[in-house]
Copies of this chain bind each other. A is one copy, B any other.
C-alpha cells in the first residue's frame, strides 16, 4: 500500500474510527430539511412557484452579498443563462479553463458558442491572469465575447487580476461559482466579481437541493431578465398565456428550494467543518515526501469543497494506484476531471499552451470531504 493510502486509511479508520464507506462527498441533512419539504407536500406547493423559491433566492442574495439571485433547475442551466444574458450566441467564442467539470464547456456549447481554453495558475487552480492577459492580447480571430472563471474545488481564482484584465480587453467576466458557495476572495463572496455568476446545488456540492442552481448578479435589470428567460418569458397577466421571447423552463421547483433553504441555514457550520477537516488533512500529510495538500491563497477563505492532494510530479499511474487502493479500503478518492482539451468534442477548440493543466491532470487526488462533523476532526489529533 502506498504511503498516501496508508495515511488515509489510518486517518479515517483509526483516528476517526469511521466504519463503512467514506464517501468522497455525501450530503448532510440535520436541520429543517424534512420539515420544509413536508410543508411543501402538505400545502401542495411543490412546483415552480412557491414561498421557498423566493426565500431561497433571498437567502442566496444575502449570503453571497450579490444584489440578486435567481434560482434555476441546475448549475449548467444557470451558467448557460449567464452566458446568454451576457449576449453570448451562435458563432461566439468564450474563454474557459480546460481544467473544469464538463458542464462549464457544455454551457458554452448550449449557447451555440465555442470554447477557447486558457491555462490555470498552480496556486489557485483557476484561470491564470498572466496567461489570460497574454491570450487576449495575442488573439487575432473572432471577438471573444466572455471569459468564464471557475473556482476549482471551491478555491477562489485571482478575481481582482482577472476582472482588471477582462475590463481592459473589453470582455465580459462570468464566474462559474458552482463549487465555491461559502468561499471568499479578499473578504468578499465569490460570484460578485463578474457581470454574472452561476451556483450549483447538485447532490455533491457543499449544500444541495437535489438538483439546482442559481444565477447571481448585482444588476437589477439582468436579474429581471434572468427570471423572465428562465420562466418561459411569460408576460404577467391574470389569466392570459402570452410570452414575448423564446424562453426556457429552467425554474427550480419549490420542493427543491425547500430543501435548499434548510441546507443554507447550515452553510456556515458546514464551511467550518470542512475547514477543520482540511486542517486534519494538513497534519496528516505534513512531511510526506512527493505530495502536498492544496491550500488556499492568502487572499482567499475557501470552503474547501473538495480537498486535493497534489503529487510533486505528474504520475497518472500513481494517481490511479492510490485511488484504487483507497477504493479497496472503501475510501472514495478521485482524480481531477479529464481536461476539456483531451475530450473528443472539445479537442479541436482553439487553446493556449496548457502546461499547468496538463501537469495537474496527472498530479491531483481529491480526498473525502463531506461536511460531517467527524469525531476528532478538530485539532491536531488528525495524526500525521
Name A residues whose Cβ lies closer than 8 Å to a Cβ of B.
Answer: 26-29, 33-34, 37-38, 40-42, 44, 46-49, 73-77, 90, 101-103, 106, 109-110, 112, 202-204, 208-211, 232-234, 238-249, 251-256, 259, 323-324, 327, 333-338, 343-345
Tell me whether A47 and B75 are in contact (CB under 8 A).
Answer: no
A315 to chain B, nearest CB (A): 16
* CA distance in complex: A42, B259 (Å): 13
* CA distance in complex: A239, B75 (Å): 22
Q: Secondary structure at chain A's binding surface: helix, strand, loop or mixed? A: loop
List chain B residues, Cβ under 8 A from A247: 102, 106
**Oligomer copy total:** 2
* CA distance in complex: A256, B40 (Å): 12
* CA distance in complex: A232, B29 (Å): 26
Which of A46, A75, A106 has most chain B Cβ within 10 Å? A46
Tell me whether A46 and B259 are in contact (CB under 8 A).
Answer: yes
List chain B residues, Cβ under 8 A from A255: 37, 210, 255-256, 259
A286 to chain B, nearest CB (A): 26
Tell me whether B101 and A253 are in contact (CB under 8 A).
Answer: no
* CA distance in complex: A44, B28 (Å): 7
Tell me whether B244 and A210 are in contact (CB under 8 A).
Answer: no
Tell me whether B46 and A26 are in contact (CB under 8 A).
Answer: no
List chain B residues, Cβ under 8 A from A336: 241
Tell me whether B249 and A344 are in contact (CB under 8 A).
Answer: no
Tell me whether A343 and B243 are in contact (CB under 8 A).
Answer: yes
A178 to chain B, nearest CB (A): 11
Tell me whether B232 and A106 are in contact (CB under 8 A).
Answer: yes
Tell me whether B238 and A327 are in contact (CB under 8 A).
Answer: yes
